[in-house]
Structure formats: C-alpha cells, structure tokens
C-alpha cells in the first residue's frame, strides 16, 4: 500500500506489528535494522509506554550481523536492534544470530516466525541476502556486495565489515507474514524492480510475493507508471 510519507508509513507498519502482537503476545518477530523501520519502532515504543501494546513476551529474532566484531563494537547490528527495538519496546526474549548452523532449527523449535519486518537494500537485498540469491538460501555467512558496503558506510565512521551472517531467504519467506517498509525516492528504482519484474535471483526481495506480504511504501518510493 502507498502512504503519504515516512511518518504515515511508520504508523501503518506499527499498526501491523501491534496487531500481530495483540493476536499472539508471544509472537516471534524477525527484526530488521537499517534506518527505514526506525520511525515504526519509535511509534511502537510510544504505544508500549502508553500501555496500548505489550511486547514483554514477544521474541525478537535477529535478522543479520557482521562477522568478526566484538560484543560492544559500535557497528554491531545486535546493538542496533537492542537500542532501537528490544530496549525501548520492553522486549525480554531474544534470539540472536550467532551460529548459522543452528539458527534455522532454533527458529523452528520456537514454532517459526510470525512476522518478518524488513527494509529494502539498494541492491534488492533482504537482510544480507545479497544478489544473486535464490529463494531456498538458508541462514549462512556471506560476502557483502560493493553496493551494500557503500550503503552501510552511512551508519558509522568505521570501515564496514565485508562479511556478515544473514537469516536465509527461505527463513524470511517462512515467516507467516512479511512486512516490507520502503521510504524515500532513492528506493524507487529498486522497489519497481522488486514489484514489477519476474521473481529472480537478481533482486532477492522479488521473492516476496503473495498474500502474506504487505509492502508499505511512501509516495516518494512509489514506482511511477
Ligand atoms: P535502510 O537500509 O533502511 O537504512 O535504507 C536497508 C537495507 O540496506 O537493508
């Protein structure tokens, strides 16, 4: 669905996430980092503080992480997830992406993912499922593409690590619902490819098709006819 701006996208995304948590207070949520979902997380923190929704029994599942960082490294994506989602929303249950060989089984053991909250990479990646990526890719370690290295250099003044762990494409697709948030004119081209091209390895996000996926895009990101 297309909404006016990033603020409206945050409200709509927050509505979807809050609905899932109200329906299932122990929901397992795969949580994206990046700038796009931050306003939605801030809106959810506000609602949690007002007692409108309770995240205390939710399981926050990590989507991706750089390889080779110390626990307290400012580039750590787990730190990002904690700061933007876990702590402000009052989440107490977490599943970190530390061991790629057990992660998918760990998710299965908790009954699977109820929702994957996702942003869209400039190269069409979801998490760090870098192109080319087929829809059956499992959780694994990957080399980041030059495009992701450039894009992620926005987040901090230190060099971007070149390897990462990512929840697999198949892991993401296994979530019972997927929410893709896309805002800003710089995402227009890749969103058009995501939605309009035949699903393919070239644009990993194009594997997201079907009724269980909601795309919330703002007017600036909306593909033009
Ligand atoms: P962004 O990052 O939300 O900061 O644009 C998205 C991504 O690279 O996955």
User: Ligand 1 centre and the CA of 52: distance in Å?
Assistant: 28
User: Is 34 near ligand 1, meaning CB less than 6 Å away?
Assistant: yes
pTM over 0.85: yes
Write the DSSP assignment of 12-71 as a string of letters.
Answer: HHHHHHHHHHHH-TT-EEEE--SSTTHHHHHHHHHHHHTTS---TT-EEEE-EEESS--T
pLDDT tens-place values along the chain, 225 residues long: 999 999 999 999 999 999 999 999 999 999 999 999 999 999 999 999 999 999 999 999 999 999 999 989 999 999 999 999 999 999 999 999 999 999 999 999 999 999 999 999 999 999 999 999 999 999 999 999 999 999 999 999 999 999 999 999 999 999 999 999 999 999 999 999 999 999 999 999 999 998 999 999 999 999 987
The length of the chain is: 225
What pLDDT was estimated at residue 225? 73
What pLDDT was estimated at residue 71? 85
SS3 219: coil
Ligand 1 nearest atom to the CA of residue 155, by list position: 4
Among 195, 221, 224, smallest CA distance to 209 is for 195
User: Is 124 near ligand 1, meaning CB less than 6 Å away?
Assistant: no
What pLDDT was estimated at residue 166? 98
User: Ligand 1 centre and the CA of 204: distance in Å?
Assistant: 14
Q: Where are the domains of the chain?
A: 2-218
User: What is the Cα–Cα distance from 191 to 223, expressed in whole angstroms?
Assistant: 7
Helices (H), 50-197: 77-81, 87-89, 103-109, 146-152, 169-173, 188-196
The catalytic residue positions are 64, 123, 125, 130
User: Is 119 near ligand 1, meaning CB less than 6 Å away?
Assistant: yes
* Spatial CB neighbours of 55, under 8 Å, sequence gap ≥ 6: 21, 44, 48, 89, 90, 91
What pLDDT was estimated at residue 167? 98
Mutation pick for ligand 1 pocket among 122, 205, 208 (CB with most ligand atoms within 8 Å): 122
The domain 2-218 is classified under which CATH number: 3.30.2350.10, 2.130.10.10, 3.55.50.30, 3.40.50.1360? 3.40.50.1360
Mutation pick for ligand 1 pocket among 38, 151, 160, 172 (CB with most ligand atoms within 8 Å): 151
Mutation pick for ligand 1 pocket among 31, 40, 120, 190 (CB with most ligand atoms within 8 Å): 120
User: Is 36 near ligand 1, meaning CB less than 6 Å away?
Assistant: yes
């Amino acid at each position: 669905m297309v909404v006016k701006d990033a603020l409206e996208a945050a409200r709509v995304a927050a509505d979807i996430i809050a609905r899932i948590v109200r329906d299932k207070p122990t929901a397992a949520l795969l949580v994206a980092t990046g700038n796009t979902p931050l306003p939605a997380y801030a809106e959810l923190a506000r609602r949690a503080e007002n007692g409108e929704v309770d995240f205390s029994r939710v399981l926050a599942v990590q989507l991706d992480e750089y390889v080779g960082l110390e626990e307290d490294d400012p580039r750590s994506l787990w730190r990002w997830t904690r700061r933007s989602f876990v702590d402000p929303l009052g989440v107490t249950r977490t599943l970190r992406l530390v061991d790629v060989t057990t992660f998918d089984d760990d998710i299965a053991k908790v009954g699977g993912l109820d929702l994957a909250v996702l942003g869209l990479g400039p190269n069409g990646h979801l998490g760090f499922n870098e192109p080319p990526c087929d829809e059956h890719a499992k959780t694994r370690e990957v080399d980041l593409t030059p495009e992701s290295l450039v894009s992620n250099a926005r987040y901090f003044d230190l060099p971007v690590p070149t390897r990462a762990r990512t929840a697999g494409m198949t892991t993401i697709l296994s979530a019972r619902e997927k929410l893709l948030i896309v805002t800003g004119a710089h995402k227009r081209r890749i969103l058009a490819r995501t939605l309009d091209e035949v699903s393919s390895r070239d644009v990993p996000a194009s594997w997201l098709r079907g009724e269980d996926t909601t795309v919330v895009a703002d007017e600036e990101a909306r593909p033009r006819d």
